[in-house]
Structure 1
Amino acid sequence: MADVVVAGVGMVPFAKPRESRSYVDMAEGAVRAALEDAGLDYRAVGQAYAGYVYGDSTSGQAALYGVGLSGIPIVNVNNNCSTGSSALFLARQAVAAGVVDCALALGFEQMTPGALSSVYTDRVSPLARHDDVQRELRGHDENAPQAARLFGGAGQAYVDEFGIDPAVFARISVKARRHAANNPYAVFRDPITLDDVLNSPVVHGPLTRLQCCPPTCGAAAAIVCTPEFARAHGIDAGVRIKAQSLVTDTPATFEAGDMRQVVGYDMTVKAANDVYEAAGVGPEDLRVVELHDCFTTNEFLTYEALGLTPAGTAEKFVLDGDNTYGGRVVTNPSGGLLSKGHPLGATGLAQCAELVWQLRGQARGRQVDDVTVALQHNLGLGGACVVTLYEKAA
């Protein structure tokens, strides 16, 4: 896999839906920040991939027209919650394949208050098979949002197998707020206690409200290029994408009879193993990870899926503080989806920006010591999982 330089990253502060600007304004702000970071003019970009979930067709063009009308190909991307990383995957792939020397990945979302829901109710839902398995394994809770039923059921499956105290999940929300306190882009920066989390209203299974990511608006962008393009344009080539994998569902999702598989555990395992093998590194080499904590239960499961801790040991991993500063690997120094927010199309590229800043030593109060490689995990049900390994150039 050819190394691809991350030339520039940018994002705008995430916001609650009622406090948000228009998606075109947010997207333009993120792209201009990435261009400024790279020291490039938009006319140097050869292709653009614009990711969003809730928006009409060609919203990507509308989002980029404010930056420039250069006539380049603009491809709209929708891969549920992994949309931003899927756009990055396509941009990196185009550069690595020699199609273009420089490409832009943009993600944005202008969301509405409340839980995620389908827009089109007159046709088959893309998550119909996931829902069918969930009903078969755990019954139907009509009062809980769809995503909470799926990820709450996955967390309960872990509790059932290993007999852990489900209160351990709530500790992840406390950690997320503590990390977000140092992130000016995050929506929720005020601290919360374990009691706050546990006493918030129950949503489904072990999940309470403060263990669920909020609907959020925002935008983030990344510019990637070849090492040769970077040299020719005086770009800092200090951070590169060393390996990347995009994996979709396998038969295990629907046939294993396990809610953890329904929400993408095996996709994560395969994508992570692909990346580790391609990059020649392992989870033991990681000091910082941005992973998809749409719910506390998913962050917990992902510790094991990424190999950060052996199967059955995630509870100890949390209780020992190995998921935060002073521990073995800092997970979601940005505050993650739980506290930074989760504007679906922007999430993967916000993760990218955070890890680039970490590798450059620009994360300020969030900076993790001695970072030379960084791992990103972005998951979308329906399904797609993107795992990306970034490396600091020697």
Structure 2
Amino acid sequence: MHKVYVIGVGMTKFEKPGRRTGWDYPAMAKESGSKALDDAGITFDRIEQAHVGYVFGDSTCGQRAVYELGMTGIPITNVNNNCSTGSTALYLAASAIRGGLADCTLALGFEKMQPGSLAAAYEDREWPVAKHVQALAEIREFASPPAPWMYGVAGLEHNERYGSTPEHFAKIAAKNHRHSANNPYAQFQDVYTVEDIKNAKTVYADAGLTRLMCSPTSDGSGAAVLASERFVEANDLGDRAVEIVGQAMVTDLPSTFGTNSAINLVGTDMSRTAADQVYAQTGLTPDDLDVIELHDCFAPNELFTYEALGLAGEGEGHKLVDGNDTTYGGRWVVNPSGGLISKGHPLGATGLAQCAELTWQLRGEAGARQVDGTAVALQHNIGLGGAAVVTAYQPANR
């Protein structure tokens, strides 16, 4: 297999849906894609394939988006994998290089969303996560909106089984809001106390889940230019290139539905399996990691993901919260960008924004968010229905 490098990244600021009048997805893609190309120091005619992710849109939005950068006849694929769409586009763009099919590819993602809770786009066919919702409803009575209910039920399971509390979820959210204050790309840059977060508008009362523990709907775009080792060497990009040293994508497993566990129904075993595959590919362990961008769509999911990534043992994720182990000065810095909760969550762009943040961290270009001495970074992105993508990065010239 061929080595894969990130040579350029770019993103837009994430915004509340509709906040920027007339800001349509082609303009978003042009902004993030142009920044990524400029960062790589190349022009669009060097790109051999493009993989474009979005969840809400018609069939060839990917082509329309990329045409803002150029029209050179290259293959362009449209990618939809729910909330893991951006990292799935990254996975496909990397796979083309890894398999020797291309030397330079583009992964791009965007979303133009409607305000409010996510809803099914079509009512004349089965909802893709209906099987998950039905299984969860057998554990605890259904409540609307569905997404916070699903993660709230899983949070309650962790509370009841392992002794965590809603206070831990509030502390996770407070951390991520605090981190986002230093991120000019974040949708929110406000700092909140734990009490502010606990007293915010209730979204799922049974779990103590409030609005400030939930990721918002967002507009925005992210992009990454990937290249082979041959391309990096030929263009003298080694000093800025970041290697993807391990990557895995995993879909639902028998344990998703076979364990009567809400925590598994929201994808934790997928995440664990993908992380284990990446550790096996690279020889890395959780102790080797410095910075982690993970999928905190709701604060409980960050807690579950600590355990899935091996940062804590099963049922012990809340101990990391109590020990301040996942922020500056701790064992790892998790979601220095502010995470989905505060940076925002335009579904198709999220995985590529995570890639951008980790690339900046490994280059030492993250500004006030910079984690000193960052040498190894890990990305986790998940979509229900389902897919989990985990990616490990190190500088090319390490």
User: Could you tell me how far apart the structure 2 residues matched to 1:116 and 1:71 are?
Assistant: 35
Give yes or no for contact 1:9–1:38 (8 Å, CA) kept in 2: yes
Corresponding position of 1:8: 8
Write the mapping of 1:216-295 to structure 2, written as runs, cut at 5 A. 216-236=218-238, 238-295=241-298
User: 2:129 pairs with 127, 130, 133, which one?
Assistant: 127
Corresponding position of 2:57: 55
State the Cα distance separating 1:3 from its structure 2 match: 2.2
Q: Secondary structure at the match of 2:139?
A: helix
Q: Secondary structure at the match of 1:13?
A: coil
Query: Runs in 1 of length 4+ with deviation above 4 angstroms?
Result: none
Give, as a single letter, the amino acid of the residue that structure 2 aligns with 1:286: L
Q: Secondary structure at the match of 1:346?
A: helix
User: Could you tell me how far apart the structure 2 residues matched to 1:140 and 1:366 are?
Assistant: 39
Give, as a single letter, the amino acid of the residue that structure 1 aligns with 2:37: L
Write the mapping of 1:1-394 to structure 2, written as runs, cut at 5 A. 2-20=2-20, 21-141=23-143, 144-204=144-204, 205-206=206-207, 207-236=209-238, 238-393=241-396, 394=398
Give, as a single letter, the amino acid of the residue that structure 1 aligns with 2:88: S
Deviation sequence 1:69-95 (CA, Å, 0-9, x none): 111000000000000000000000000
User: Could you tell me how far apart the structure 1 residues matched to 2:243 and 2:229 are?
Assistant: 9
What CA RMSD, in Å, does the superposition of the two structures yield over aligned residues? 0.9
Deviation sequence 1:209-234 (CA, Å, 0-9, x none): 11110000100000101111112123
State the Cα distance separating 1:202 from its structure 2 match: 1.9
Once the two structures are aligned, what percentage of the paired residues are identical? 52
Give, as a single letter, the amino acid of the residue that structure 2 aligns with 1:346: A
Give, as a single letter, the amino acid of the residue that structure 1 aligns with 2:73: G
TM-score normalised over the length of structure 2: 0.97
Give yes or no for contact 1:2–1:242 (8 Å, CA) kept in 2: no
User: Could you tell me how far apart the structure 1 residues matched to 2:190 and 2:139 are?
Assistant: 37
User: Could you tell me how far apart the structure 2 residues matched to 1:135 and 1:164 are?
Assistant: 22
Q: Secondary structure at the match of 2:311?
A: coil
Unaligned runs of 5+ in 2: none
Give yes or no for contact 1:265–1:305 (8 Å, CA) kept in 2: yes
State the Cα distance separating 1:163 from its structure 2 match: 2.4
Give the number of aligned pairs: 392
User: Could you tell me how far apart the structure 2 residues matched to 1:153 and 1:221 are?
Assistant: 34
TM-score normalised over the length of structure 1: 0.98
User: Could you tell me how far apart the structure 2 residues matched to 1:233 and 1:359 are?
Assistant: 20
User: Could you tell me how far apart the structure 1 residues matched to 2:245 and 2:2 are?
Assistant: 8
Q: Secondary structure at the match of 1:18?
A: coil
Deviation sequence 1:275-313 (CA, Å, 0-9, x none): 001011000111110000000000011001100112222
Give, as a single letter, the amino acid of the residue that structure 1 aligns with 2:120: S
